[in-house]
Chains A and B, each alone.
Chain A
Amino acid sequence: MSDRIDKAWVERCLNGEKKVFGNILDKYQGIIFNLAFRMISNRDDAADVTQNVFLKAYSRLSLFDPKYKFFSWLYRIAVNESLKFVKKATGVKDYDLNEAPGSTENDQSFEETEQSNVLNTIVNSLQPDYRIVIVLRHYQELTYLEISELLNIPEKTVKSRLFSARKLLREKLLKKGVLLSG
């Protein structure tokens, strides 16, 4: 039902009813913004990426194939735009916790930081391919299959990246004393 409504809105946009796109925004801007925010950890940049996602979707509405779910199509654009932003902003390099924005080398002040900020900082220290699977699995709660379809990689690769990413996060959190192993 929801997807049928989406497709009816798309059809009306294609027929020139620009304001109907507002319905699509109302429905999906939250989830797209949250995805971008989890990838980028900066509200302004996440808002920019969200805007790009919807502008791109609008300009490509005529390319949308109605045999697929509209949200899947939109979400794929959002994943690609978020990854593009992250890769452009950070470059492809060896990631290290100390290079992550907002991280601190001072253990004393680190302990005073909220757990949420710590987690965000550490997630953002992961390389983009690991970061996206963590965000999609743990924040967006997608299944392995859904992630594999979105990223266009085998499910086995999703699993292996997710396991590796979790282990990296564990090591970093142990190092910072946030997790007390055992």
Chain B
Amino acid sequence: MDDYYNDLIHKDIDGNLTEEEVADLEKFLNSNEEARKLHNDLKALSGMFTSEKIQETPPDLKQQIMNSLPDNLYQTAPSRGSFWEQLTNLWRNTRFQAGMGFAVGAIAMLLVTASFDNASNGNVTDNGIVQGTLLPNQTYPESTPADIRQVTIGQTDCRLRLQHSESFATLTIQGSSHTPLTFKLDYPEQEMALRFIERGPGKTFTAAVNAETLLLELPPNTELAIHFLVKKATTKKSLKVTVNNALGLSSSPQEFIF
């Protein structure tokens, strides 16, 4: 059968014929028995679909899904007890087991990008603000050199290190040896999304997050890595980090823009 008429038959099944095409098809069907049979069969088939009933959703499905949702979209250092509790509950749920394999792989990849560089090349300007740039993610080769900033608040030092992989940005914070510090991270949600925070072994920290801000307090001798997904290519400065002394001993917080 001519492709044109075959198309017309299917267009008619879909209800998309123009008046002119209707006339054309009718004329053709009257002169071609095979085509008329095909047309009638496909019409009947289409009618069988439309008479199919809508399936009712299982009544407990919503509750099951709500019960399975993780407590927080952002992993912000839960206490050890609740962490193990959550992990155990998750592992009991077979649906999570396949996902866990994938997640472990992804975290391992991120850990590689977050490995700490011991080289010290702090380049703080006189006013304590250093300009940096987030490159569009498609221009990243494998990873870019780390952008490292040395921070001095009063007599306390810490170090910030930002590194990009293909589509992730990882900020690693090496806390001071003496004083707890507070960090405020501002990131435009259109460009970056906080994925998760890793802490050093045995360490705790407190954090508050929303779509565009992360506030955290870091005890002495703590390192953590904060992973962002780069959502959109940008050449603008995207991540602002403001550091202050958690004990209120410093009168002037320092601001860094990556």
Contacts and interface: CB of A to CB of B under 8 A. Distances in A.
A57 to B, nearest CB: 10
Contacts of B14: 137
A48 B95 contact: yes
B10 interface: yes
A98 to B, nearest CB: 20
A34 B55 CA distance: 6
A11 interface: yes
Interface in B47-91: 48-55, 57-58, 61-62, 64-66, 68-73
Given A58-B69, A163-B10, A174-B41, A63 B229 contact: yes
Interface string A170-182: 1001100001011
A20 B232 CA distance: 26
B231 A166 contact: no
Contact of B210 (A15, A52, A162): A15
Interface residues of B, number: 44
A157 interface: no
Interface core residue of B41, B42, B62 (most chain A CB under 10 Å):
B41
Interface string A157-173: 00100110010011001
A115 B47 CA distance: 12
B45 interface: yes
Interface string A1-39: 000000000010111101101100110011001100100
B37 interface: yes
Contact of A25 (B36, B37, B65, B194): B65
Contacts of B210: 14-16
Contacts of B38: 170
B212 to A, nearest CB: 10
Nearest to A62: B193
B64 A51 contact: yes
Contacts of A166: 10, 13, 42, 45
A43 B37 CA distance: 35
A78 to B, nearest CB: 13
A61 interface: yes
Contact of A62 (B13, B58, B69, B73): B73
Given A52-B95, A116-B52, A163-B10, A18 B71 contact: yes
A173 B44 CA distance: 11
Contacts of A115: 48
Contacts of A18: 69, 71-72
Given A33-B55, A62-B73, A139-B49, A51 B68 contact: yes
Given A170-B38, A182-B37, A47 B58 contact: yes
Contacts of B252: none
A97 B2 CA distance: 29
A21 B69 contact: yes
A122 to B, nearest CB: 10
A59 B54 contact: no
A15 B211 contact: yes
B177 interface: no
A63 B231 contact: yes
A138 B51 CA distance: 11
Q: Give the 3 A-B CB pairs with smallest separation, nearest first.
A: A62-B193, A138-B49, A181-B37
Interface of A: 11, 13-16, 18-19, 21-22, 25-26, 29-30, 33-34, 37, 43, 46-48, 50-52, 54-55, 58-59, 61-63, 65, 115-116, 119, 137-139, 159, 162-163, 166, 169-170, 173-174, 179, 181-182
Interface of B: 6, 10, 13-14, 36-38, 40-42, 44-46, 48-55, 57-58, 61-62, 64-66, 68-73, 95, 193-195, 209-211, 229, 231-232
